[in-house]
Amino acid sequence: MKKLYSITILFLINLIFFTTPTFANTTISLSNPNEKITQNIPFEITVNITSTDNTLGTDLVLQYNPDVLKLNSVTPGSVYPNFSNLENLLTNGTLHISGASDFSKGTIPNGLFATISFTSLKSKSTQISVAYDPTDSSLTGVIPFEGNETNLLNQTPQSLEISINKQNFFSKIKYFFIQLFSRFFNK
């Protein structure tokens, strides 16, 4: 009986002092609501975060081919109350976006992180990917509020494959009117 009591005490001490906290599965996903993407016509992708952990913020680094895609805009989602300055976040095919909690209680991110608008420049297939390496804190990461882990994201987010169609007659007319109205209303 004494031996069982000693083993139980050692087990409890080990459990309390030598275990690392475990976090729920935190994911980042890219999606394209449009099934058809046409050359020279703007389209949007959405970035979603799913987690049950309290976070301090999220840093997102997206990579894309600037010869095929032109970045138009980034619109913050509703997951975090604070976002990085969304101007000048682009470096030759790499986009950096940061969202942060209010720092007093953290945020449980579960929903839309950002909407990103691109225009396709060429009719070909390409991809948009999330730059992620669990050992590199300068890349994509979901930072826990408690600070006892460096990154809650524990798997590489799946890249978004995009197939761009050539413009047909109707898409050329649509593109013409989009350009015409954008010039008219931007004056």
In a domain, 59, yes or no: yes
In a domain, 2, yes or no: no
138 pLDDT above the threshold of 90: no
In a domain, 172, yes or no: no
The terminus-to-terminus CA distance of the chain in angstroms comes to: 86
In a domain, 5, yes or no: no
Domain containing 147 equals: 23-166
Residue 31 belongs to domain with CATH number: 2.60.40.680
In a domain, 187, yes or no: no
Query: pTM for the complete prediction?
Result: 0.76
Separation of alpha carbons 83 and 85, rounded Å? 6
How large is the average pLDDT for residues 107-130? 93
Query: Could you tell me which of 115, 120, 117 has the C-alpha nearest to residue 37?
Result: 120
H-helix or E-strand containing 80? none
In a domain, 174, yes or no: no
In a domain, 10, yes or no: no
Separation of alpha carbons 141 and 134, rounded Å? 8
Number of structural domains (the chain) is 1
Q: What is the mean pLDDT of the chain?
A: 81
In a domain, 129, yes or no: yes
Output the CA angle 86-92-96, nearest 5 degrees. 35
Asked if 85 and 100 count as a contact pair (C-beta separation under 8 A), the reply is no
The 10s digit of each residue's pLDDT in 2-44 is 554 544 454 444 444 444 444 458 899 999 877 788 888 899 9
